[in-house]
Amino acid sequence: MRVRKGDTVVVISGNDRGKMGKVLKVELDSGRIIVEGIHFIKRHTKPSQRSQKGGIVEKEAPIKASNVLVYCPKCDKGVRVGKKALQDGRRVRFCRRCGEMFT
Ligand SMILES: [Zn+2]
């Protein structure tokens, strides 16, 4: 999985194509991620003791990690990222387009 929690990503397919958001959660098992403000679904909730009133709640639903690209500020677009090891052994991700490193 090339996407990490906290990354800014660009959606490349589906209804939210072209939108950007921050990765809130990565589900490694299913290969899905939750992105802030992307792919809202409406959930009908019944009144319960926990939440006083029922109704419709809009909530982000997971999308496939393969539907997004990591946003590169330098390229100002979603890009593919590579991984490499620095001389001190740290592994970093970088933009395959311009070479910018992501922390
Ligand atoms: Zn770049």
- What is the pLDDT averaged over residues 71-81? 96
- What is the pLDDT averaged over residues 41-68? 84
What would you report as the CA-atom Rg of the chain, rounded to the nearest whole angstrom?
17
| CA of 66 relative to ligand 1 center, distance in Å | 18
Q: Domain holding 12: CATH number? A: 2.30.30.30
DSSP-derived letter for residue 66 is G
Kindly state whether residue 29 falls inside one of the protein's structural domains: yes
Kindly state whether residue 2 falls inside one of the protein's structural domains: no
pLDDT at 50 over 70: no
Q: Which residues surround ligand 1, an ion (CB under 5 A)?
A: 72, 74-75, 95, 97-98, 100
The predicted pLDDT at position 46 comes to: 79
pTM, rounded to two decimals: 0.82
| CA of 56 relative to ligand 1 center, distance in Å | 40
Number of domains in the chain: 1
Instruction: In whole angstroms, give the CA distance from residue 86 to residue 21.
Output: 28
Kindly state whether residue 35 falls inside one of the protein's structural domains: yes
Kindly state whether residue 51 falls inside one of the protein's structural domains: no
Among 100, 42, 40, 31, which Cα is nearest to 70's?
A: 100
Kindly state whether residue 15 falls inside one of the protein's structural domains: yes
| CA of 79 relative to ligand 1 center, distance in Å | 7
**Domain with 87 in it:** 8-46+56-102
Kindly state whether residue 1 falls inside one of the protein's structural domains: no
Split at pLDDT 50, 70, 90, the class of 103 is confident
